[in-house]
Chains A and B, each alone.
Chain A
């Protein structure tokens, strides 16, 4: 089970936004020392967009204001300086194995 906090968040433009994700079991593989944890951004009426894989690796084209951290069971997505286009719902996902599971989502808004 993946649990995100908070469920919703309002941040001023240019300020930092932090979203947390906790897994009920470790997603760190002992064989390759990699965390099977991803972050996605979903805007209304659109499919999700992949932001980060392996807990901290940004996808190509994702602005560097997005960063991921954490290991094992606790992870964080940080947006260092919120832009208007970052308004969306953010999901964490573990892909350590089937069944792949998602957090409930965090709605990020402008304060």
Chain B
């Protein structure tokens, strides 16, 4: 079965850091762009960052530039999101997804990040 599973979420204080991981199975990970999205409680989906197959192209939403870093390890079929200087407004369920370019046709189960003192 093709699937993506995000992990690494939790409760963190404002200004803290977390590293999210996304493990893939049943697919050739290195064939796909990978993307992180998030969804705050009761809010619309928000694109966070995307990375090309070989890591040569990376894009971020303005609100996380300079604080978040997306990366991938094709040998481990894994995607990462290093989140620093976290703010309460970063509280959300974070989803990883795969696809072609910025279009994502496979979404993984999310992981909840809560930023609160």
Contacts and interface: CB of A to CB of B under 8 A. Distances in A.
A104 B108 CA distance: 21
Contact of B104 (A36, A50, A101): A50
21 contacts: A36-B103, A38-B103, A47-B107, A47-B108, A47-B109, A50-B105, A50-B106, A50-B107, A53-B103, A59-B105, A91-B44, A95-B102, A98-B61, A98-B102, A100-B35, A100-B50, A102-B45, A102-B46, A102-B47, A103-B44, A105-B44
Contacts of B46: 102
Interface of B: 35, 44-47, 50, 59-62, 95, 99, 101-110
Interface string A74-103: 000000000000000001010101111111
Interface of A: 36, 38, 40, 42, 47-50, 53, 59, 91, 93, 95, 97-105
Nearest to A94: B102
A101 B108 contact: no
A98 B59 contact: yes
Nearest to A37: B103
A97 to B, nearest CB: 7
Contacts of B110: 47
Nearest to A95: B102
Contacts of B103: 36, 38, 53, 95
A2 to B, nearest CB: 9
A40 B107 CA distance: 10
A104 B44 contact: yes
Nearest to B4: A47
A99 B102 CA distance: 9
